Structure 1
Amino acid sequence: MKKAITLYLILLLFGCHTDTTSKNNTITSKTTKTETTTYKKLDVNGVTIAYREAGNPDKPTIVLLHGFPSSSHQYRKVLNTLSNDFHLIAPDYPGFGNSDFPLSTDYDYTFDNIATTIDTFLELKGLQSYAIMIQDYGAPIGFRIATAHPEKITAIINQNGNAYKAGLGDAWADTRLLWANRTKTTEDALLPAFTLQGLKWQYTHGTRNSENVNPDTWHLDYLRLSRPNAHKVNIDLFYDYQNNIKLYPEWQQYLRDNQPPLLIVWGKNDAFFPESGAEAFKKDVKKIDYNIYNTGHFALEEDGEAIIEKIRSFMKGLNK
């Protein structure tokens, strides 16, 4: 009896105590194994761009373009889950995440210039063909790159990335006042967006349950937005956002002319970019994989699992 118990314990230790459990272990290993995400940096014309990279570069590439007030951190679930099937690159813009935060006297914080920096970053990485995933600020940056290099874009994955006036929600009211007349008063009206409570609201507004959102997200953003000059730089970007709207017709023409494969994975309760922004793409793109979720601005936080599986099936279907 003692020998039998000893043998059982040895088998248990080496993970082969029964055939059934061995099979289950194999299945678990296959479903949870991912390629390691690495955290790298690259000099782009004197500005160090931090980025996360995962997966095999020989596989189809997806460039993940983040929004405000976040960084590549917002794509952590995508990187962890899809890295076995795709090559993933998620850069932090200048002034965001772990990238350099140059003074505004040394770097022009406009969407034109940030897009130029990220475009150069992608060229330095040697990427000639890639899909883009866009969210919030990722849309004006991604569409600038797409219109400059339509031949490089294999697909667009759009999670609340706007390109239509119809998609601008009520949360833009104070920013519109800034566009009309930039004064200390109109600038100060936007400062609550940088508070801990204001950042939390951006992540949790419109969610089914705010407890589904990791609070590390807005606390991390708060630390970065508490750096010297961070408020000024971001108000400059708020003011410059009006120039994105002027480019909407150009981006819409790009969509009509090129008909890129388009996946919509949109949080419908977004106060900045409501579902009307997603609907508007139907005017210009003939075929859309269209998916709306009952959540807010950062849809990946609450519905990441469902969205990521949509991305997987969409991307794998491109070459069929």
Structure 2
Amino acid sequence: MKNLILYALAIVPLFMSGKTMLDVEKSNLIFKNKENMTTIKYRTLEVNGINIAYREAGNPENETIVLLHGFPTSSHQYRKVLDQLSDEYHLVAPDYPGFGNSDFPAASAFEYTFDNIAATIDAFLEKKEITSYALMIQDYGAPIGFRIATAHPERVTAIINQNGNAYEEGLGAAWKDTKAFWANRNEQSEKALLHSFSLEALKWQYTHGTRNPEKVNPDTWHLDYLRMSRPNAHAVQLDLFYDYQNNVKLYPKWQKYLRENQPPLLIVWGKNDAFFPESGAIAFEKDVKNIDYNIYDTGHFALEEDADKIIPKMRSFLSKLKK
């Protein structure tokens, strides 16, 4: 009875304005369709024997943004972007193998290198028949995204860069132990990096450099810690840490891609990032002419504290490309 009364109260003003029941039903249908399009879906897609988990929102007929996450997180880091931009864009955020809710195959069955992860995500996009997209990159998302971009430059409509590095001057002080690991991988240099997977260190990655750590949802680092605590997770992550040096070797190739293709570039960078400081953002100005440059007084995961500034900037940047 209560629902009937509420429904009657809702439609009376419509009839008074001259609208019919058919008009009401059409309005409800449009509302339901819009709500369905903007709702985040949690899906999986099998790619070369591996189930890739991904979040998807928005109308696939709209322009696509592919959201590539960083270490040590997953597509969860883009939850605010998916929620707020799905009214106008089609958004797809995959979890890499071994990350998030994707399969975590043994190292004997899957080679944990950035080449192989990028190839897997590229194959994922192929299987989804997504052949035109803007890339949003952050941390690990940069070496994965730039591999995809250099393989398919004609598909990339724009790059949205939130602390995704492609220059040696963008490697901050926090890389000291990792660089020693690159120079000499042994038990001692591996042990020096194991603290990176502790709950305390994961929390630090999210809160270091923020203006107000209380604005950062603690679920973020607790989710990461849960996944980092799985058997063999540390060994896999150490393999990726070691392989990261091959990303640095590819920086000149990625810079050449930027110079030759000039993708529209939005920089939304947390300047207090100990891994990728602002010097990494500035470096892009050497190679890209069309840059919308924005620096925020926050840390590595800038969306956690400044999503209310970054997401409107993304919308504005992308809307200008439509004109």
Q: What TM-score do you get using the length of structure 2 for normalisation?
A: 0.90
What letter corresponds to residue 65 of structure 1 in structure 2?
L
Residue 313 of structure 1: SS of its match in structure 2?
A: helix
1:190 counterpart (178, 189, 193) = 193
Query: Which residue, out of 58, 61, 66, partners 1:58?
Result: 61
Compute the RMSD of aligned alpha carbons: 1.9
Q: 1:91 aligns to what?
A: 94
Q: Does 1:267 align with 2:233?
A: no
3-state secondary structure, aligned to 1:41: strand
Provide the rounded CA distance (Å) in 1 between the counterparts of 2:81 and 2:230. 28
Match of 1:114 in 2: 117
Against the structure 1 CA distance between its residues 306 and 17, is the aligned structure 2 distance closer, same or farther, given a 3 Å change threshold?
farther
2-side partners of 1:13 and 1:303: how far apart? 42
CA contact (8 A) 1:212 1:301 kept: yes
Q: C-alpha separation between the residues in 1 aligned to 2:69 and 2:78?
A: 8
Residue 282 of structure 1 aligns to a residue in which SS? helix
Q: Check whether the contact 1:172–1:272 (CA below 8 A) recurs between aligned residues.
A: yes
User: Is 1:153 the counterpart of 2:156 in the alignment?
Assistant: yes
Task: List structure 1 runs of 4+ shifted beyond 6 angstroms.
Answer: 10-13, 16-19
Aligned to 1:82: 85
In the alignment, the residues of structure 2 paired with residue 204 and residue 15 of structure 1 have an alpha-carbon distance, to the nearest angstrom, of 46
Name the counterpart of 1:127: 130
The match for 1:242 among 245, 250, 271 is 245
Q: Does structure 2 conserve the Cα–Cα contact (< 8 Å) formed by 1:64 and 1:134?
A: yes
Whole-angstrom CA distance in 2 between matches of 1:316 and 1:88: 15
Q: Secondary structure at the match of 2:59?
A: coil
What's the CA shift string for 1:93-125, capped at 9, x where partnerless? Answer: 000000000000000000000000000000000
SS in 2 for 1:247: helix
The one of 50, 60, 64 equivalent to 1:47 is 50
Give the 3 Å change call, closer, same or farther, for CA 144–251 of structure 1 in structure 2: same
- Secondary structure of the corresponding residue to residue 48 of structure 1: strand
How many corresponding residue pairs? 301
Q: Partner letter of residue 310 of structure 1?
A: K
C-alpha distance in structure 2 between counterparts of 1:132 and 1:287, whole Å? 16
In 2, distance between residues paired with 1:209 and 1:185?
A: 35
| Conserved? CA contact 1:11–1:17, under 8 Å | no
Structure 1, unaligned stretches of length 5 or more? 1-9, 20-28
Cα distance between partner residues in 2 of 1:193 and 1:179: 16
TM-score, reference length from structure 1:
0.91
Change (3 A) 1:150 1:215: same
After superposition, the C-alpha distances for 1:114-151 in whole angstroms (9 at most, x for unaligned) are 00000000000001100000000000000000000000
Counterparts of 1:169 and 1:109 in 2: how far apart (Å)?
A: 24
Residue pair 1:49, 1:92 contacting (<8 A) in 2 also: yes
- Residues 287-306 of structure 1 correspond to what in structure 2 (within 5 A)? 287-306=290-309
Paired residues for 1:204-243 under 5 Å: 204-243=207-246
Corresponding residue to 1:318 among 312, 317, 321:
321
Q: Which amino acid aligns with 1:78?
A: V
Percent identical pairs in the alignment equals 72
User: For 1:155 and 1:247, how far apart are their aligned partners in 2?
Assistant: 20
Q: Partners of 2:6 and 2:232 in 1: how far apart?
A: 61
| CA drift at 1:13 | 8.9
Q: How does 1:153-172 map to 2 (within 5 A)?
A: 153-172=156-175
Structure 1 residues 55 and 188: CA distance shift in structure 2, 3 A: same
SS of 2:230's equivalent in the other structure is: coil
